[in-house]
A and B are shown apart, each in its own frame.
Chain A
């Protein structure tokens, strides 16, 4: 459970008893005390400094997809624990514990919906499900999302929020990188747009596959994005990392992504972009001219 949810429970925004005296949270960006309801209303962005709090997959879908248009797909896919993996805890138990918290769809929710004027296929990561890690289910859902886009002649949107490949499924998790990247090659051959949105964090095997393959790549402000995690890099090179290293703005400066886009502006930015890239509205325009 993240600190945000703990607070929700404490403050009565969750299922437990209300304690009206703590309805404030401290912003990680500016240190300001914020009224939780106001932050929620502001798409989980600090009204004071624009710090982007992490959002759940369903919340993100509501930020991007027109109300009432989202249809979820492949929600019944679950992991088979192919390695019978056990560290300090069994992988099966970790999965069960996450299900109990109400996150039953593995680390990704996928479906079809309408974004502004455009029908799209969309996949959104659920960070609260084992750090948004990618195992067989995530890889399969993204691949099917892309295949659906080809079938329906729709663009693909993926919102990444993940620490990388899921260790508990070993090599099969790694292979999801090849699987999803291959599917995107097919999408590309069909000349259908793929827009990748990176949020905090997008690292490891997710970053090193579909997340970095977008025709256009946008990131939310201040998100950690990179192949290796900062701790691993620090240990390898034995020096402190520069300020702002691997943050969204750093990636723009190094020519690695297209832009940093505020959560508030994401939907209209994507709608605008799709109006220039996606086939369907263009055909409509041609018809009216005729």
Chain B
């Protein structure tokens, strides 16, 4: 809480400086101090604070990154089974000179767009569209990049009627032996099965302030604490930050964000992401399909923590 207030103070302070302008020595000294403090604060963000940063509505979304990182983006629509899936976007694009298939959850920033994108919560059609595009990429030997940013799969009547569970399960089942490289990046919220449905890949990375969890802190708090207010405890207990996931070997790499979070500087965040994508793609495209699939399988096969002693 103290940290949060501190951040708030810092944010309002920095706005003040912006309006006055960087004219005096005093201000520049203070700005330096502010940077240093911000750096420390953001280095030590706790689970719930990270969740709030990951959900920040100014944070770059999938289409923002696509626009900044790729060229010639050709968006492709529909699951070919009667569904559009507006919370999931995808299409072919050029990355440097390489063709890639980019697929990601899409949230909206303005109220109307938020509703149209269903707050980034996909219906089965979204997952089926994603899989269709992955199969298309596989057919034409095009590497796949997926960007995860969702509170979770949509919990609704129509989603259940159309087989939400089956759609998610089938994606994981199919992604494990797609013959082209798959790079996965959690750019904001990695919400449970809805995230993992496009999250099986050769490299899994997270942006520094993104989160990835089996359940939202709100959901966990209301089930295990029986108290919706216990979100901070829940977020902490769930170990959902990039650092935690790297320790548990669920992800391979953390991508640094600009100071104060990706929402403060879209351009710099995109540069950071581009660098990580380029480096990983470079090593993956030289691997044979067999090698990719075998290693991908081993990666997920080895996840878990158990012992063989009697409890």
Q: Given the known A-B contacts A208-B169, A212-B165, A227-B159, are A169 and B305 also in contact in the complex, defined by CB atoms under 8 Å?
A: yes
Q: Mark B168-194, 1 if CB is under 8 A from A, else 0.
A: 111011101100000000000000110
A75 to B172, CA, bound (A): 27
Contact A171 B172 (CB under 8 A): no
- The interface residues of chain B lying within 8 Å CB-to-CB of A172 are 248, 250, 303-305
Contact stretch, chosen from B25-33, B136-144, B238-246, B269-277: B238-246
Q: How many residues of B contact A (CB 8 A)?
A: 58
Q: Which residues 158-174 of A sit at the B interface, judged by CB distance below 8 A?
A: 165-167, 169-174
A208 to B196, CA, bound (A): 10
B19 at the interface (CB under 8 A from A): no
Q: Given the known A-B contacts A137-B306, A177-B172, are A82 and B165 also in contact in the complex, defined by CB atoms under 8 Å?
A: no
A23 to B220, CA, bound (A): 39
**A78's closest neighbor in chain B, by CB?**
B311
A205 to B155, CA, bound (A): 13
Contact stretch, chosen from A49-57, A110-118, A237-245: A237-245
Contact B224 A184 (CB under 8 A): no
A204 to B192, CA, bound (A): 10
Q: Mark A259-289, 1 if CB is under 8 A from B, else 0.
A: 0000000000000000000000000000000
Contact A78 B169 (CB under 8 A): no
Contact stretch, chosen from A7-15, A29-37, A85-93: A85-93
Q: Mark B147-166, 1 if CB is under 8 A from A, else 0.
A: 00000011111011111111
A166 to B155, CA, bound (A): 19
Could you tell me the distance in whole angstroms from the C-beta of B58 to the nearest C-beta in chain A? 25
- The interface residues of chain A lying within 8 Å CB-to-CB of B174 are 185
**A209's closest neighbor in chain B, by CB?**
B169
Contact A80 B160 (CB under 8 A): no
Q: Mark B284-311, 1 if CB is under 8 A from A, else 0.
A: 0000000000000100110111111111
The 7 listed contacts between A and B (C-beta, < 8 Å) are A79-B306, A171-B238, A171-B244, A227-B168, A228-B156, A245-B157, A254-B161
B-to-A contact residues, CB < 8 Å: 153-157, 159-166, 168-170, 172-174, 176-177, 192-193, 196, 199-200, 212-215, 219-220, 223-226, 233-234, 237-240, 244-245, 248, 250, 297, 300-301, 303-311
In addition to A79-B307, A88-B224, 6 A-B residue pairs with Cβ atoms within 8 Å of each other are: A88-B226, A143-B301, A172-B304, A182-B200, A211-B165, A254-B161
A-to-B contact residues, CB < 8 Å: 76-80, 82-83, 85-88, 95-96, 99, 104, 136-137, 139-140, 143, 165-167, 169-179, 181-186, 188-189, 204-205, 207-213, 226-228, 232-233, 236-237, 241-242, 245-246, 254, 256
